Amino acid sequence: MAPDGSGLEMPWLRSQLVEWLVKLADRSWQEANWAVVEPGYESLDDMWDFFDDKGLDRPEVSLGLLFKDQEEVNAMRELEASFQSVLQNPAEDADLIRSEDWGLVIAAARRALRVLAANDGAG
């Protein structure tokens, strides 16, 4: 069933995704929270787990469940492509978030946030 822009089946998951996108869009937050991992605190691995566990590497599957339209799916595809780019050269979390390719992740997360916010009437 094609989404009509409202009534998503998994709005709580969308909220969780937005929380992760906010973190992914903010390099300063990442430096403060992911560059130095302390026990008991959220890590970059928690973000990877969220995206992997929720199947967000294939956003088209979540159209109508989590995403309202094709533009949102495309924005998430862009984010996934940026993930794949940075994962080509594995590194420690601090080095990864300081890498040149990580800028693609930040830009894609910001775009995805804008698209989701616009569709939710906040952008």
Cα 96 from Cα 98, distance rounded (Å): 5
3 versus 116: which is more confidently predicted?
116
Instruction: State residue 6's pLDDT score.
Output: 60
Q: Which amino acid is at 68?
A: K
DSSP of 43-87: -HHHHHHHHHHTTTTSGGGGBTTTB-SHHHHHHHHHHHHHHHHHH
Q: Which span out of 2-11, 41-50, 70-79, 89-98 was modeled with the highest average pLDDT? A: 70-79
pLDDT digits (tens, 9 = 90+) for 36-47: 767 666 788 999
Q: Which of 121, 122, 87 is nearest to 104 (CA)?
A: 87
Grade residue 1 by pLDDT with cuts at 50, 70 and 90.
very low
Is residue 59 pLDDT above 50, yes or no? yes
The pTM (predicted TM-score) of the whole model is 0.88
Q: How many CB atoms lie within 10 A of CB 83?
A: 20
